[in-house]
Amino acid sequence: MNTAYYDAKRPNSGLIIKRTCHLLLVAIMTALINGCAVLSPDFEKPEVQVTAVEPLPNNQSSDLRFRIHLRVFNPNDSELALSGLYYTLSLAGHKVITGTSNNLPPIPAYGQDTIVVDASANLMRSFMAAAELLRLQSDTVPYELEAKLGLRRSIIPHIKVTKRGQIQMGQYR
């Protein structure tokens, strides 16, 4: 299309294009400024801990259902606005529990909050983990908690947090 003809037919088109570009630039700058807290070299990943597990009634499937209480610690000087959470818990190398939530409170700067999520434990994977634990005959069970925290108001869509350790089985006997 001939832009001279286009501009001649619409004398305000240059002004509209400039305003549109200006608004687009402001929107991009706002997103960058809001995302800078996550991009800051001082930004530390939040910590996620399991604080309680409650069994839920059976839902007629092969999955065992739980309500998991997680505590999220924000070690940063800006609020952590969460849009969602997906996490898995593996025991002895077998992913046994999976949970999600999209109704999360913001975690205040240098603060903490509890998040409650419903989770499923796959019965077959749980049996495989139990068989592995019996085979190992160990006083400790290796675990891995992986959490993907979705972020609001950030150019980075999520943060992955991984925590590995050993559960001492002697404390449950």
User: Tell me, what's the pLDDT at 34?
Assistant: 42
Question: Token pair of 104, please?
Answer: 């999360």
pLDDT, residue 120, reads 85
pLDDT at 56 over 70: yes
Residue 170's pLDDT is 60
Give the tens place of pLDDT for each residue, 106-137. 999 999 999 888 888 877 777 787 787 778 77
Contact 34, 153 (CB under 8 A): yes
β-pair partners for 54: 67
Euclidean distance between CA atoms 11 and 84, whole angstroms:
47
**Which tokens sit at 155?**
């150019």
Tokens (6 digits) for 89: 């818990």
Mean pLDDT of the chain: 75
- Give pairs for 22-29: CB < 8 Å, separation 24+: none
Q: Is the pLDDT of residue 8 over 80?
A: no
61 φ, ψ (degrees, to nearest 5): -120, 180
Supply the DSSP string of 14-79, one letter for each residue.
HHHHHHHHHHHHHHHHHHHHHHHHHHSTT----EEEEEEEEE----SSSEEEEEEEEEEE--SSS-
Nearest to residue 153, comparing CAs of 78, 76, 68, 54?
A: 78
Domain boundaries, the chain: 3-38, 42-172
Which CATH number is 42-172 given?
2.60.40.10
Q: In percent, how much of the chain has pLDDT > 90?
A: 7
